[in-house]
Amino acid sequence: MSDADLSAADPRLEVRRASKTFAGRTVLREADLKVMPGQMHGIVGQNGSGKSTLAKVIIGYHSPDPGIEIAVDGEDLAMPVRLRDLRAAGVGIVHQDLGLIESGTVIENVRIAALKGSGPWRRVRWSREAEEARVALDRLGFRRDLRTVVKDLAPADRARVAIARAIQEHEPGHGVLIFDESTRALPADALEDFYETVHQLLADGTAVVSIGHRLGEILEHCDLVTVLRDGRVVAEGIPTEGVSEGDLAARMLGHDLVHLSFVEGRRQVGASRIAIEGLVGGGVERPFDVEVGHGEVLGLTGLPGSGFESVPYLLAGAEPARGTLAIDGHRRDLARSSLRQLVGAGVVLVPENRPLEGLALNHTVVENVSLPWMDRRGKPWATGRRWQLDEVRELIDRLGIVPPDPSELVGKLSGGNQQKVLLGKWLLGDTRLLLLHEPTQAVDVQARQDILRAIHDIAERGASVVIASTEPEDLVTICDRVLHFREGAVSEEIAAPFDAAQIIGATYSTEAKSRPSATFRNDKQGAIQ
Amino acid sequence: MSTPDTHQAPAPEAIEEAEPPVYHAGRLDVRDLISRTSLIGIWLLVAAGFAVFESGLFLQEGTFKTIFGSQYELVFLTVALVCTFTVGEFDLSVAASMGLAGSLVPLLNVQEGVPIVFAVILALAAASAVGAINGFLVVKVGVDAIVATLGMGTLVLGITLWITNLNTINGLSHGFAEIAIRDVFGLPIAFFYGLAACLILAYILAFTPLGRRMAFVGSSREVARLAGVNVDRLRFGAYVAGGFVAGVAGVLLAATLGGYNPNTSQTYLLPAFAAVFLGTAVIQPGRFNPLGNWIAVYFLQTGIVGLQLAGLTGWVENVFYGGALVLAVSATTLIRKRTGK
């Protein structure tokens, strides 16, 4: 395509000073990105580093903070970004897990946002839509009938459908294609096919931005890579030539780790108290067995969707599970245990989603904290104010909740203090098994320290703790042992002493080639959330 | 952001206040007080306005009795609605349940000769059963609450009209009427029943574990479930309780009137909703609260009686109830926005 030469001097996509603040918290700070025609540019970073936010700012899903500039082929887009302008400029995105409607046909999935009505009744003329879809699909080497329902397609063809939707308005050789972890749902044998298609587009002159989670895949296929950490670009567009996964992991992690002093005195891990056998459910696909001792903190980690994050919910009875959970020798069948029974047995769940699952924001601190203890501490005719206040004041002291006011509405506290309330709510009783999911998500350094210290205290008093987390520093600080999950099962045990690089290495290293394609399953999408 | 001092764990900030803040009681916040009582102020203003402009008619003992001696069935209906609203549900069938109970009492007692005590028990059981069916459909089957209770309400109303042949059945004894209209301090005793019902529900919601759980189920079902609260049982129970309380309203209405005209049931639904939403603007702004309902019911009644005395009849009730509902809901929404909820 010779017309690509005209603009060869200009970057296909240039983003300057992209920032995004959510409710006072800046998750992306002055990020720059430059992608030339025919280049594939990888963006990597840990969870919460801002890489997905950057993609969503570029495609206009999030409205960015003022000061940003986005130029396509040398032409600045008008701010704020409007979806229409982006599409006209040729920016298309392929979403996480491809974003296809399973029950729709190929034509419907490709054309959904571009359908045109015609005639007085604004009818859709499917023959014309099919022609349009065919043009884009042909470029990608799609050979199936366009009326095939998407769920009957092979994974590689599903990817083609998703890509066709993103590039259908590009002239060949133009446009920017953004992959937001698009290969997550693809099995190993479809990956090769997928990248072959992508490289064809690149050869035409299309630019590709790939937000990735498998470092090996990024290093293999991208020309340049940008690393984000804590919302900042820490390495902008470095060539991937000669870079190793270890180098990249070190850059993602950075060196300013927070070291918590209280860990010096290691806890005594006592005899096994919790025995989990044959746990299956949610994202856990193969039976999971583990024993956790008195005072032990067990970490579970892996990529999002690998199953580790389901474990706390399964053990707490919050999601349907199979398997047994033995506490102090008392075995229960999880399939037949209700959440209430497990709470009664001292099993406590601190879920990830504070506003949805953890706390009622329009109730006060004291109301939230005392809710689970009404049965045991209150009387049927009166909740009893004295014990609630006494216990809550002690918690406020112990966890350093600010402001120290039991009657403050939880919704008015900062994220870190809300998390402390959420944790504190479960500290009033005799906790035997504490289950946490991302306990330090979106909290500041001080709050994180307080929270980890509280977890440490609980373990020190003899409780067994299971933490599902993607924060390597947290796991290093607090855990005695970490189990790494991949594809719904434990893939590696990391025993103390270990460091964050080991956890990052286990999580982000490429073992894609060894992934059995049988594990490709779309029906589990959404089951984890 | 990360500065070297994050490498050492600073001691948790010393909380330098000897005296923890006082919880609720004893803290006087004037703005808070005004926002909690503004509706009472408006009520007094409305009454004062009528007193000035229609002093001859409005400032009569009879007017006072007209306002407070009626509407207790509406108070009970608002209590029934708050039962379900508190747990985050919705019940459009309360008026029909009230009509069913109100019709069954004279039907069973006058036409079928069932002793009055059993007639009352059966009527209450029937209204509770309507609530139980609502609860089953919404909680167990998972039907949308608006659809399920609207359908049940229409169905129950139809059945009521059918079993009564569209007629008003009269002839309940004066002795039975005494349970509702016996004079206590110049007002029918049912007025005090209504007040008591509001106070009991307010107590349950504010001071008992049951009430605390209901409030959490209403504001965040998942939080309550993960805290070990039996969410579905509370939701189901709220529907049954709502049906039962609506049944009480029907029995009292039948006793007062000596019979019941089933065609009037639906006219109670909008006023009850208006009062419940208006009630969220007072006492505990932004929350459904029974004392707020009670004030709202009699605020609305004061306005309507005053306007009727001024010669505006027939259409004024609809205008007043509908207008108050829209205004109250808007006001509540604004309050919630301002308090940052």
Convert the pLDDT of each residue in A239-281 to its tens digit: 988 887 777 877 877 654 455 555 545 667 777 788 898 899 8
pLDDT tens readout for residues B184-227: 888 899 999 999 999 999 999 888 888 888 989 998 888 888 88
Q: How far apart are CA A20 and CA A17, in angstroms?
A: 10
pLDDT tens readout for residues B70-83: 889 999 999 999 99
The confidence band for A109, taking pLDDT boundaries of 50, 70 and 90, is confident
Q: With contacts defined as CB-CB under 8 Å, which chain B residues touch A385?
A: 23
Closest CA to A204 of A235, A230, A167, A249: A167
Tokens for B309?
């005395």
The confidence band for A522, taking pLDDT boundaries of 50, 70 and 90, is very low
Q: How far apart are CA B127 and CA B125, in angstroms?
A: 5
Q: For A106-192, where are the E strands, in sequence order?
A: 117-118, 123-124, 176-180
- B209–A383 CB contact, under 8 Å: yes
- Sort A255 into a burial class: Cβ within 10 Å, 0-12 / 13-18 / 19+: exposed
What is residue A98's DSSP assignment?
Answer: B
The amino acid occupying position A386 is: R
CA distances to B114, B240, B252, B273, B340 from B248, rounded to whole Å, are 18, 13, 6, 18, 38
Q: With contacts defined as CB-CB under 8 Å, which chain A residues touch B226?
A: 316, 318, 339, 349, 351, 357-358
Minimum distance, in Å, between the CA of residue A370 and any CA atom of chain B? 9
Q: Name residues 211-250 of chain B within 8 A of A (Cβ).
A: 211-213, 215-216, 219-220, 222-230
Q: What is the mean pLDDT of chain B?
A: 84
Lowest mean pLDDT across A84-88, A377-381, B179-183: A377-381
Minimum distance, in Å, between the CA of residue B280 and any CA atom of chain A? 15
Q: How far apart are CA B91 and CA B242, in angstroms?
A: 8
Minimum distance, in Å, between the CA of residue B86 and any CA atom of chain A? 13
pLDDT tens readout for residues A364-420: 898 888 888 877 777 777 777 788 888 888 888 888 887 888 888 888 887 778 888
Q: How far apart are CA B140 and CA B288, in angstroms?
A: 25
Whether B341 and chain A come into contact, CB under 8 Å, resolves to: yes
- A404–B20 CB contact, under 8 Å: yes
Rg (CA), chain A: 25
Predicted local confidence at residue A513, as pLDDT:
35
Q: Name residues 276-315 of chain B within 8 A of A (Cβ).
A: 286
Give the nearest chain A residue to B207 (CA atoms). Answer: A382
Q: What is the mean pLDDT of chain A?
A: 81
Integer distance in angstroms from the first to the last C-alpha of chain A? 44
Backbone dihedral region of B334: left (phi > 0), alpha (psi from -120 to 50 degrees) or beta? Answer: alpha
Question: What is the DSSP track for B300-336?
Answer: HHHHHHHHHHTT--SSHHHHHHHHHHHHHHHHHHHHH
pLDDT exceeds 70 at position B249: yes
Closest CA to B118 of B251, B272, B300: B251
Query: Is the overall model pTM greater than 0.80, yes or no?
Result: no
Whether B36 and chain A come into contact, CB under 8 Å, resolves to: no
- A406–B23 CB contact, under 8 Å: yes
Longest dimension (CA), chain B: 89
pLDDT exceeds 50 at position B262: yes
Size of interface A-B (CB pairs under 8 A): 115
Minimum distance, in Å, between the CA of residue B157 and any CA atom of chain A? 36
- B7–A404 CB contact, under 8 Å: no
CB B261 within 8 A of CB B160: no
Q: What are phi and psi of A316, to 5 degrees?
A: -85, -5
Longest dimension (CA), chain A: 82
Q: How far apart are CA A334 and CA A316, in angstroms?
A: 9
What is residue A17's DSSP assignment?
Answer: E
Give the nearest chain A residue to B217 (CA atoms). Answer: A360
pLDDT tens readout for residues A9-43: 688 899 999 898 876 678 888 999 999 999 999 99
- B209–A374 CB contact, under 8 Å: yes
- B8–A261 CB contact, under 8 Å: yes
Give the nearest chain B residue to A388 (CA atoms). Answer: B23
The confidence band for B50, taking pLDDT boundaries of 50, 70 and 90, is confident
Q: How far apart are CA A95 and CA A112, in angstroms?
A: 15
Minimum distance, in Å, between the CA of residue B207 and any CA atom of chain A? 5
CATH of domain A3-253: 3.40.50.300
Whether B28 and chain A come into contact, CB under 8 Å, resolves to: no
Q: Tell me the mean pLDDT in the region A480-496.
A: 86
Buried b (16+ CB within 10 A) or exposed e, A478-504: bbbbbbbbbbbbbbbebeeebebebbb
Predicted local confidence at residue A5, as pLDDT:
46
Which member of A318, A357, A366 has the closest CB to residue B23? A366
Q: Tell me the mean pLDDT in the region A213-233.
A: 87
User: Where are the domain boundaries for CATH 3.40.50.300 in chain A?
Assistant: 3-253, 262-346+431-528
Minimum distance, in Å, between the CA of residue A206 and any CA atom of chain B? 37
| DSSP H or E stretch at residue A434 | strand A433-437
Tokens for B27?
């803290």
CA distances to A145, A152, A163, A198 from A100, rounded to whole Å, are 17, 12, 11, 18
Q: With contacts defined as CB-CB under 8 Å, which chain A residues touch B21?
A: 404-407
- B220–A382 CB contact, under 8 Å: no
CB A282 within 8 A of CB A318: no
Lowest mean pLDDT across A69-78, A510-519, B98-107, B315-324: A510-519
- B208–A339 CB contact, under 8 Å: no
Q: How far apart are CA A504 and CA A491, in angstroms?
A: 14
The amino acid occupying position B81 is: L
The amino acid occupying position A258 is: V
Predicted local confidence at residue B199, as pLDDT:
94
Rg (CA), chain B: 23
Predicted local confidence at residue A22, as pLDDT:
77
- B10–A340 CB contact, under 8 Å: no
- Sort B21 into a burial class: Cβ within 10 Å, 0-12 / 13-18 / 19+: middle
Q: With contacts defined as CB-CB under 8 Å, which chain A residues touch B24?
A: 407
CB A183 within 8 A of CB A25: no
The confidence band for B252, taking pLDDT boundaries of 50, 70 and 90, is very high
Q: With contacts defined as CB-CB under 8 Å, which chain A residues touch B230?
A: 340
- A363–B215 CB contact, under 8 Å: yes
Predicted local confidence at residue A468, as pLDDT:
93
pLDDT exceeds 80 at position A510: no
Predicted local confidence at residue A444, as pLDDT:
66
- B223–A358 CB contact, under 8 Å: yes
Q: For A54-136, where are the E strands, in sequence order?
A: 69-72, 75-76, 91-94, 117-118, 123-124
The confidence band for B336, taking pLDDT boundaries of 50, 70 and 90, is low
How many CA atoms, within 13 angstroms, populate the side-chain half-sphere of residue B253? 32
- CATH T-level fold of A262-346+431-528: Rossmann fold (3.40.50)
The confidence band for B294, taking pLDDT boundaries of 50, 70 and 90, is very high
**ω into residue A80 within 30 of 0, thus cis?**
yes
Selected residue of A362, A437, A457 to mutate for chain B interface (largest B Cβ count, 10 A): A362
Q: With contacts defined as CB-CB under 8 Å, which chain A residues touch B26?
A: none
Minimum distance, in Å, between the CA of residue A198 and any CA atom of chain B? 38
Q: How far apart are CA B207 and CA A414, in angstroms?
A: 28
Which member of A371, A404, A446 has the closest CB to residue B227? A371
